[in-house]
Amino acid sequence: MPSARKLVNQFNDMKTLPHVAIRLTKMISSESTTMQDFEEVIKLDPILVVRLLKLVNSPFFGLANKVDSIAKAVVFIGMKNLRNLVAVEAIRDLYNNKSEDQGFSRQTLWMHSATVAILARMIGQRIFALDDEDIFLAGIIHDIGLIVEDQLVGEELRQVCTMVNQGGKSLVECEDAVIGTNHPKIGGLLCREWKLSEEVLLAVKHHSGSTKEFPIPSITSILHIAEYLSCKMKYGPLPGYQISLPSYLVPHIKKMMSEYKILVKALPEEMEKAKELYDPAA
């Protein structure tokens, strides 16, 4: 059975974050980077320029006046939003290059990831007053390990889906039994390869099947809540898939139930606003 490391090594031979994304990630963490530096790097990717300008002028930001320059767009959306846009662009196509079959759909997984990302962002902002774009990034990439499995051990992944549908075991338990590793481990290793923050890495690595308790709030605990709610709303990674809320979060949810009900009601409007980020057709 392949290890998580072996699968990541094989996957990286096929697909890595683009050179522009890696450069931008390093630049964002450097205090000496100027706006002109960002503009020069972004210009290297014409598709990114189009997406950037389209995003900043979308309802997601709700600006009164049209933005028509790279420099102004970067100012308005912020450094981490820029990094997230590049990351989304880098992985978007991965979710569209295989048709649905035998209980696994990359399109379904992408919608799940987008829902979790938007829910996580809403929870951070509305429940905990945290405006950290790493929360969104963790949500959008948290199941990237399933894409690696689909690409490299697709037949085994379909066996996993069949086992999950039969009930009684979680997705991670079925992956461990059939594949010998699981998508959170693979995703955590990819986060390290891509030089993402430790908070994002931790959240991706422990978003499913972990028995650990995490601080409330933290990116990991917010991701746990967002994934639970997305499955409740029938936006799971697999058709009909449900997960249990980690026990350490149950008291928090009970205490804040009225706020979470309001948040869930507001989700469709937020999904519509964020279409420019996640919808390939937007």
Q: Residue 16 carries which DSSP code? A: -
How large is the C-alpha radius of gyration of the chain?
19
Res 159: pLDDT: 95
Cα 118 to the center of its chain, rounded Å:
9
Judge whether residue 179 has pLDDT over 90.
yes
Q: Furthest-apart CA pair in the chain: how many Å?
A: 55
Instruction: Provide the residue range defining the domain that includes 48.
Output: 4-278
Cα 149 to the center of its chain, rounded Å:
16
Query: What is the token pair recorded at 86?
Result: 């590049």
The residue among 196 and 217 whose pLDDT is bigger is 217
Question: SS3 for 139-200, per residue?
Answer: HHHCCHHHHHHHHHCHHHHHHHHHHHHCCCCCHHHHHHHHCCCCHHHHHHHHHHHCCCCHHH
CA distance 282 to 279: 5
| Domain total in the chain | 1
Judge whether residue 85 has pLDDT over 80.
no
Confidence of residue 257 (pLDDT cuts 50, 70, 90): very high
Confidence of residue 199 (pLDDT cuts 50, 70, 90): very high
> Mind listing the pLDDT tens digit for each residue in 26-47?
777 677 878 788 888 888 878 7
Per-residue pLDDT averaged across 175-190, rounded? 96
The residue among 180 and 211 whose pLDDT is bigger is 180
Question: pTM to 2 decimals?
Answer: 0.86
CA distances from 96 to 91, 100, 118, 257, 281 (A): 10, 10, 20, 36, 11
Residue 145 has a CB neighbour count (10 Å cut-off) of: 29
Q: Would the CA dihedral through 274, 276, 279, 282 be positive or negative?
A: positive
Confidence of residue 97 (pLDDT cuts 50, 70, 90): low
Per-residue pLDDT averaged across 130-140, rounded? 89
**To the nearest whole number, what is the mean pLDDT of the chain?**
87
Give 252's strand partners. Answer: none
CA distance 111 to 107: 6
CATH of the domain at 266: 1.10.3210.10
Q: Which residues contact 119 (CB under 8 A, 6 or more apart)?
A: 139, 225, 226, 229, 230, 263, 267
Judge whether residue 197 has pLDDT over 60.
yes
Task: Classify 242 in phi/psi space as left (phi over 0), alpha (psi -120 to 50) or beta.
Answer: beta
Res 282: pLDDT: 62
Cα 148 to the center of its chain, rounded Å:
14
> Mind listing the pLDDT tens digit for each residue in 184-194?
999 999 888 87
- Work out the burial of residue 186: count CB atoms within 10 Å of its CB; fewer than 13 is exposed, 13-18 middle, 19 or more buried: buried
